[in-house]
Amino acid sequence: MPLINLPAFAADLLADFERLGTLRVDTPVIQPAEPFLDMAGEDLRRRIFMTESETGKSLCLRPEFTIPVCLRHIETATGTPQRYSYLGEIFRQRREGANEFYQAGIEDLGETDVASADARAIGDAIAILSARLPGRKLNVTLGDQSVFEAVVAACGLPAGWQKRLIHAFGNSAQIDALLTRLSSPQPVTGLSVEIEALLSSGDDATLIAHLDETMEATGYSTNASRSPKEIAERLKEKRALEKTALDGRTLGVLREFLSLNIPLAEAPAALFAFAEKSGLTLDGALSRFDARVAALGNAGVDAKALTYRAAFGRPLDYYTGLVFEIVIEGSSAVLAGGGRFDRLMTLLGAKERIPAVGFALWLDRMEQALAQPKGEAAQ
């Protein structure tokens, strides 16, 4: 289908993708809605355009490319490593701006050298934006969930708390609320005398059997949803933690970490100093972080132009490590966003774990930026 509304720089962009050795793929505009809602959650429903097939199957207009490109990779049983590129229209309900616009990007699937693949994704995004938007100063912000995971683990927090904190990572309001909540004990109340007795007896088998019987008696299946064992385990965990609260020192350590916002070049030293001062062992995460900074240097990316913000993440469970965003200095419009999503391929049905990293370019915002005189940031 010849498109006449493509951005003027689309041909150059495709040439960039080819020069970078990627395989350009296309995906249908009409997509099954399930994978998007399953991965991103129900909140997406009001931001995409949904319809139904005659047989009742939920369909949507392609809201992004990552999931379709990954599904295509799985369906075509293509080997890895493989770097895909795409350029096409996506469709979203937005309060402001058009509902259909162009996006382009690269998905790098199956590269096991994580540091190099991360560095290449960031480097490619910067190189493409610099070439298409000459003379603009780009600001790159980078975050890494795996460092936060290491900090939380090294603080020796209970497993349940670690999971909650990691789950809230990237949403600052949520993480603030959670830290406040964990700072005061959460008593477990409202249990019947019988359950209290079973709980304090420590006899797990009888507790589980009791839950099992109650479910049977009240017409609830014991395997369709949460099982008696799962409920008993979580109840025990809550009971064990009910008098525990996040201590002031740990809270201080977590808040200090989350407030880090520094040039990437200084980040390895700053993280090392933070770990030393706080008495945390973060060796694995820090060496992976350092390896990425080194790989960026090898890829010719100037780490001085990059900022590391420790609290920066995306609260979706398939993002696992690196995330990054690129804006023009003085503007808040994100021109490129990317990250590592090592968990997505298996969630979408891949038989084996396939490490993945990629980024998307917002072509409409790039066009707007081009329309602005140099040095004057688009708002």
Partner 1 sequence: MTITIALPSKGRMKDDASAIFEKAGLKIVAVGNERSYRGRVEGLDNVEIAFLSASEISREIGSGSIDFGVTGEDLIREGLSEADARVEFCARLGFGHADVVVAVPEIWLDVDTMADLGDVAADFRARHGRRLAIATKYWRLTQQFFSAKHGIQLYRIVESLGATEGAPASGSADIIVDITSTGSTLKANHLKILSDGVMLRSQACLVRARKAEHAGDPLVAKIIEAVSGVC
Q: Tell the residue number behind the tokens 């419009």, with chain if given.
A: 333
Token pair for residue 17? 């993708």
Q: Are 260 and 310 in contact (CB under 8 A)?
A: yes
Q: Tell the residue number behind the tokens 């609830």, with chain if given.
A: 220
Looking at beta carbons only, is 225 or 281 nearer to partner 1? 225
Chain residues that interact with partner 1, rule: CB under 8 A: 37-38, 40-43, 45-46, 160, 163-164, 167-168, 171, 173-174, 177-178, 181, 189-191, 195, 211, 214-215, 218-221, 224-226, 228, 230-231, 234-235, 237-238, 315-317, 347
CA distance 378 to 365: 9
To the nearest whole angstrom, how small is the minimum distance from the Cβ of residue 320 to partner 1? 14
CA distance 123 to 297: 10
Mutual orientation of helices 283-298 and 114-132 as an angle, nearest 10°?
Answer: 40
To the nearest whole angstrom, how small is the minimum distance from the Cβ of residue 169 to partner 1? 11
CA distance 62 to 49: 8
CA distance 15 to 11: 6
CA nearest to 365, candidates 190, 176, 122, 133? 133
Looking at beta carbons only, is 166 or 327 nearer to partner 1? 166
To the nearest whole angstrom, how small is the minimum distance from the Cβ of residue 200 to partner 1? 14
Token pair for residue 335? 């021109």
To the nearest whole angstrom, how small is the minimum distance from the Cβ of residue 94 to partner 1? 13
3-class secondary structure, 273: helix
Looking at beta carbons only, is 8 or 224 nearer to partner 1? 224
To the nearest whole angstrom, how small is the minimum distance from the Cβ of residue 351 to partner 1? 15
To the nearest whole angstrom, how small is the minimum distance from the Cβ of residue 108 to partner 1? 25
Looking at beta carbons only, is 131 or 191 nearer to partner 1? 191
CA nearest to 378, candidates 97, 47, 95? 97
Looking at beta carbons only, is 188 or 370 nearer to partner 1? 188
Looking at beta carbons only, is 94 or 304 nearer to partner 1? 94
